[in-house]
Amino acid sequence: MAGPTVYVTYPDVAVTVAVTSAVAEAVENARVIGLVDNDGTWLDTVTPSAARLVSRRALLAEPATLELDPRRLLAAEIVADAARWPGDVPGALGRVRRGAPQTAALEEQDASVRAAVQAVAENAEKILAAGGVRLEQRGWAADPVVLLAPHQLAAVERALASALGVAGADTDREARLRRLELAARLPVLAARAGWTPTSAEGSVPVLTTEDLQQLAVLAHGGYQVVSRATDNATESVNFGREWAELSEVDQRSNIAQVADIPVKLATLGLTWRPAELPTVVAFTPDQVDWLAEIEHRRWAYFQYRNGRPGHEWNVPWSELGVRQEYDRSAVRLIPALLASVGLEIVPLG
């Protein structure tokens, strides 16, 4: 059976060569290609028969590579990503037709969905530029953009709405949330399509990977607090586990929770800014209820996308009862979490 094709490239060519050999030895039936500046120089350094080195110039000259237009690849990534979300709520592009579970192909979609996907893919550079992100066609960057600040998301959402032909006066909160969610994922989808998203000159830095990890640990601590207050209403074993004891999926669940903070703030017309002594604001009760409901839905989607569609708490918000407090507590904690990394919440604009 044919295995995957894996491309390997690092700024340090010696690392590329070593990893190419290691992957070829570790992954059965894989075709592993290391991209180097001069394949002749390194030709004899890769031993497994399944591995080979190719110069970047030679790869770019291959007919199959020339056909890999990043816009076409992005369109495929966008529709595939949409299929990995539950189909109970239409996404920003409409209802996506699925084939096998969590898969979809662009050519199998209704004309309206195809047109929406292609409008986003064809205008991706302009859409992300609205949020201070450049899409460059280079293989590697020390600081690729994967997380946008709330004000960046709001700008990208407006550009998305324009590309999709949505009226400027659109006040549908759910529809805007769907576009904000797509805006948040667009840099990663563009990277999968071959672009490198980088910050435009003068754009404000966002949370770092280290910040996200720190906030995720604090978010888990907040979960433990509400678990004690509700006598562990969800009956989860994670209540008594410290961060290091959580499974990889549960750690990533916490990271995904804090990575969604920009979307939540943008839905309320808020953003953040650096501050030496951040002011910790409090959300209104109505804001807490709205954010808690969309946090529960985000959590349920994460479970669905990560192989847990049958999780016992993957139920509608209205059926959670006292367990709604877990989500309310999580969103009430957002201002304090941001303050811990030197950010305070302010109105957009």
Determine the angle formed by the axes of helices 150-163 and 173-192, rounding to 10 degrees: 100
Look at residues 77, 114, 85 and name the one whose alpha carbon lies nearest to residue 194: 77
CA distance 76 to 316: 30
Residue 340 has a CB neighbour count (10 Å cut-off) of: 14
Domain extents in the chain: 5-66, 70-199, 209-347
Q: How far is CA 96 from the centre of its chain?
A: 19
What does DSSP assign to residue 200? P
The pLDDT of residue 312 = 64
Cβ(117)–Cβ(109) below 8 Å? yes
Contact residues for 342 (Cβ-Cβ < 8 A; gap 6+): 274, 275, 276, 278
For the stretch 235-284, pLDDT in tens is 676 777 888 888 888 899 899 999 999 999 999 999 999 999 999 999 99
For the stretch 189-214, pLDDT in tens is 998 888 889 887 655 557 888 899 99
Query: pLDDT averaged over consecutive 10-residue blocks of the chain (349 residues)?
Result: 73 82 82 70 55 65 62 90 78 84 82 94 96 79 74 95 81 89 94 85 70 92 80 70 86 92 96 94 95 91 75 72 85 95 93
pTM, to two decimals: 0.79
Q: CATH for 209-347?
A: 1.10.490
Q: What is the sign, positive or negative, of the torsion defined by CA atoms of 283, 214, 299, 220?
A: negative
Element (H, E) at 196: strand 196-199
